[in-house]
Structure 1
Amino acid sequence: MSRAPRRRLVPAYLVTGGRPVAPRPDLERLTVLILVAPPDPGGSLGPEHRSLCELLEPGALSLVECAAHLGLPVSATVILAADLIERGHLHARPPVPPAQEIDRSLVERLLVGLRALS
C-alpha cells in the first residue's frame, strides 16, 4: 500500500515571508552553503531559518541538497539562505566549475620528458 506524498504544513510562500525572488542572484542550485555562526537560540529567526542552520552544522551542503532535506522548493531555500548570508550566519561558495579537457599533446610531451630523465 503506497502512501500519499506528505504536504508541508506551511506553504513555501509563507516560509519566505511572501517574497518571490531572492535578493542575491549569485546563489545557484549548486552553490555550497557553509555555516559560519549559529544563530542565537532566542533570536529573531524563523523556524525554517533555524532548520537550515541546524542542517549545516555537521558540514557544507549544496543549496539544492538543503532544499531536498528541508522539503522546500529550491527558490524558497535560496531566499532563506540569502537571509542567513546577509545576517552573517552562512557563507556561500560558488559551485566547483566543470573540469576542462586536458591537452593531449602537453601530456605526451610531459611523458617524453619524464622518460628522458630516467
Structure 2
Amino acid sequence: MDRNGTGGPRVPGSQWYDGEAGPLVRPYAMTGGRTRPGPTGVRLDLIAQVALDPGAPRFDNDAGLGPEHWALIELCRAQTQSVAELGAGADLPVGVVRVLLGDLLELGCVTVSRPVPPGQHTDAHILREVIEGLRAL
C-alpha cells in the first residue's frame, strides 16, 4: 500500500488520483461544499420521481451549471427517473445528486413528485364494504 492508502501506484504530482479507481473528484467539489439541497422544501428521498420540466427555460453552457448538472438533465430528458436511478445513471453518490437536483429545482429545470405510499392507497374493496355496512344500518 502506498502513502495515500489507495493500494495502487501513485501518479507523481497528483493527489487526486487513485491507481485502481482512476481520477477522483471529491463530492464537496461537485456541490460547492453544500450537503443539503437548497430551500426548495421538496423531499428528495430515493423513490422521489424526477422529470424534466417541459416548460423549463433553455440554458446554454454558460448558465453556471456543472457537468454533473447536465448529466442529470440528460438522464431526465430520456424518461422520468427516481433519485436512486439518477445516482446510478450519473455514477454519483445520492447525497451529491440530491444537492444538484435542488439546484435544478430552483432553476425550474426539473419537477419532483413522490409516489403514493402503499399504505395510503384507497382500496376499492374496502370502500365497497364500508358503503354496504352503512347501508345495512
Q: Please report the TM-score for the alignment, with normalisation by the length of structure 2.
A: 0.64
Residue in 2 that maps onto 1:31 = 48
Q: Is the aligned partner of 1:45 residue 2:45?
A: no
Equivalents in 2 of 1:5, 1:60: separation in Å?
Answer: 33
Structure 1 residue runs of 5 or longer lacking an equivalent are 110-118
**Two-structure CA RMSD over aligned residues (Å):** 2.7
Q: Is the aligned partner of 1:70 residue 2:126?
A: no
Quote how far apart the aligned CAs of 1:97 are.
Answer: 1.6
Quote how far apart the aligned CAs of 1:40 are.
Answer: 2.3
Once the two structures are aligned, what percentage of the paired residues are identical? 33
Q: Which has the higher contact order (CA 8 A, sep 6+)?
A: 1
Quote how far apart the aligned CAs of 1:93 are.
Answer: 0.7
Quote how far apart the aligned CAs of 1:5 are.
Answer: 7.0
1:88 pairs with one of 97, 101, 108: 108
Secondary structure of the 1:56 match is helix
Secondary structure of the 1:92 match is strand
1:11 pairs with one of 10, 16, 26: 26
Structure 2 residue runs of 5 or longer lacking an equivalent are 1-18, 133-137
